[in-house]
Chains A and B, each alone.
Chain A
Amino acid sequence: MKIYVCVKQIPDPNTVVSKLDPNTKRLVRSGVSLVLDPGDESTISAAIKLRDTVGNSEVTAVSMGPASAQEAMRRALAMGVDRAILVTDPALAGSDALGTARVLAAILQKESPDLVFCSTESTDGYTGMVPGSIAEFLNLPQLTFAREINVEGAKAIIKRVTLTGYQTVECPLPVVVTIASGSFEAIYPTMKGIMGAKKKPFTQLTLADLAIDPSQVGETGARERVATIGKAEARAAGQIIKDDGNSAQAIADFLQRYQLI
């Protein structure tokens, strides 16, 4: 089986406080520590686990991003992904979910996947709109919010997270699957994996390679515009105290003052 995982390099959510650039009105991605989206690590692990269960299968990571995203792809390879494909092009800056999905779908179209995995949403943009958009571009169905995946013959069966529990949902292959955060434990790359990653196939493409019209992607192709970035209505400044061993008292006083206990 040919399994593909769409991944993204993002500002490290554990160390970087996301900022918007007032000029470009985009998320600041330069000068900050960049990592493979931790949600994608879980999704890659789900794909690798399925590959090893099914047998005779390969996992390919695909991404769109600046040259720096090579690092994220190397990490994916070190985790155990077999191949990586990265699309880098200056015209892609400022792409919306539609533009991003258009590019990823163009890669996948050439590859004839059996399964496409995505995280439910990225940890920096959170729109969650790319996976469903890829599915629509490829005219494939989508199985979303999966916390468990099985492939039986030509069908994928997932347990799909709902607000009150889960649904069991099945769908014929090929299909786009999104993985609910936290459903699969991330594989940690070993030294052997890191060394081996350097020898694995890593393809880098431009928009011209995919025959995509640059006006359909990037800021030009985006159907939405950020008009202004303003300050949120601030909550009245709160009281900040340093724990001196009596914080429990101070918090309980607060709770009583506002009749919360």
Chain B
Amino acid sequence: MSKTIWVLVEIENGKAARSSLEVLGKAAQLGRAEAIVLGSAAAEVAPTLGEFGAEKVYVHADAIYDNYLTLPAVDTISDLLKQHQPALLMLATTYDLRDIAARLNVRNTMGLITDATDLAFAGDTLQVTVPWGGENVVTATHPQQGSGIVLTRPKAFGVENFAGRNAEIETLSPALNAESQKIKILDRVDVPSEGPALEDASVIVSGGRGLGKADNFHLVEELATSLGGAAGATRAIVDAGWLPYSYQIGQTGKTVKPTLYVACGISGAIQHLAGMKGSKYIIAINKDEHAPIFSVADLGVIGDAITILPQLTQEVKRRKTH
């Protein structure tokens, strides 16, 4: 019998978030995919989910989920989990879904695996693939009994199309707990950034500790501009306060898959590799020949990024005009 897999679908600007649709498609390949969608736009989003793989959608169209973070969603899903026993609950790794997953894991004693890039059932046993650094890959499993949770790495799967599939819609009417209306969103501010967004850029040049100091980061930005790309950073230099969090590429921060990734002064910590290993071409510049980043590089240059970057920017500009 095919397994039932639930996917919590996040709403973004009134539509199903792409990251959630990727997870839904994967769930539909593994078994019977059922979606949960909560929020004021849920009723409009629900009927669109069939063609992305959902056989059934649980819907609660209520603005409470838009105005109060985490707790109302945890209440609703937790109750639903007590009525049904899906084999698995899958979620994309996003800010809000991480928070929900952590609480559900405790409340329903589920078992939780993060950062998955693949999943498969071998009989009744779920096998989850979790990359570990540049070299290892771990296969993890959930307990045999009860539902488990898997958070998947962004962009691990493509969006799948299940043309003609119509999802059965079940409208939920959970009792809303006033005690759970605590984490209130007062306002939302978008900070526009210059150039292409990191997630969409086809070229990314990023910098790490090997740049020496924050004042050298402009070298990274200049190469990015000359290549028509975006600039990114490692967690180490974001931690050091050189750049805002929006630049961070890695397991937290952003997962990117550009055509070209140029890593400058980046050693290649697991945290960072997790966010960029899927890039088509990787060029690494680092002084330390043993840096793990070289194990994923198509072209590795053992040298000082601070010296090479300005030369390279100039050379790129020269070749572009000839």
Contacts and interface: CB of A to CB of B under 8 A. Distances in A.
A238 B246 CA distance: 30
Contacts of B289: 240, 242
B56 to A, nearest CB: 26
B303 A97 contact: no
Contacts of B259: 260
A-B pairs with lowest CB-CB distance, top 6: A243-B303, A132-B102, A223-B111, A248-B311, A136-B106, A165-B191
A130 B114 CA distance: 12
Interface residues of B, number: 96
A226 B143 CA distance: 11
A201 interface: no
Contacts of B63: none
Interface string A5-44: 0000000011001101000010000000000001100100
A68 to B, nearest CB: 21
Nearest to A223: B111
Nearest to A17: B292
B111 A228 contact: no
Given A121-B252, A248-B314, A260-B281, A147 B140 contact: no
B70 A223 contact: no
Contacts of B69: 169
A132 B191 contact: no
B244 to A, nearest CB: 8
B106 A101 contact: yes
Interface stretch (B1-9, B26-34, B168-176, B181-189): B181-189
A163 B254 CA distance: 8
B260 A182 contact: no
Given A120-B252, A131-B102, A169-B183, A227 B298 contact: no
Interface string A163-197: 11111111110000000111101000000000000
Interface stretch (A82-90, A106-114, A251-259): A251-259
Contacts of A101: 106
30 contacts: A14-B209, A18-B133, A38-B236, A38-B239, A120-B252, A126-B114, A127-B112, A132-B98, A132-B101, A141-B182, A142-B70, A166-B189, A167-B188, A169-B186, A181-B248, A182-B238, A182-B245, A227-B139, A227-B140, A229-B139, A238-B299, A240-B289, A240-B294, A240-B300, A242-B302, A247-B285, A247-B308, A255-B260, A255-B316, A260-B260
A205 to B, nearest CB: 21
Contact of B188 (A162, A185, A234, A251): A162
Interface of B: 69-71, 74, 94-95, 98-99, 101-103, 105-107, 109-115, 127, 131-143, 148, 182-191, 199, 203, 209, 227, 235-236, 238-241, 243-246, 248, 251-252, 254, 259-260, 269-271, 274, 281-283, 285, 289, 292, 294-304, 307-308, 311-312, 314-316, 319-320
A182 B314 contact: no
Nearest to A129: B102
A199 interface: no
A251 B131 contact: no
Nearest to A143: B183
Which of A141, A168, A182, A241: most chain B Cβ within 10 A?
A182
A232 B139 contact: no
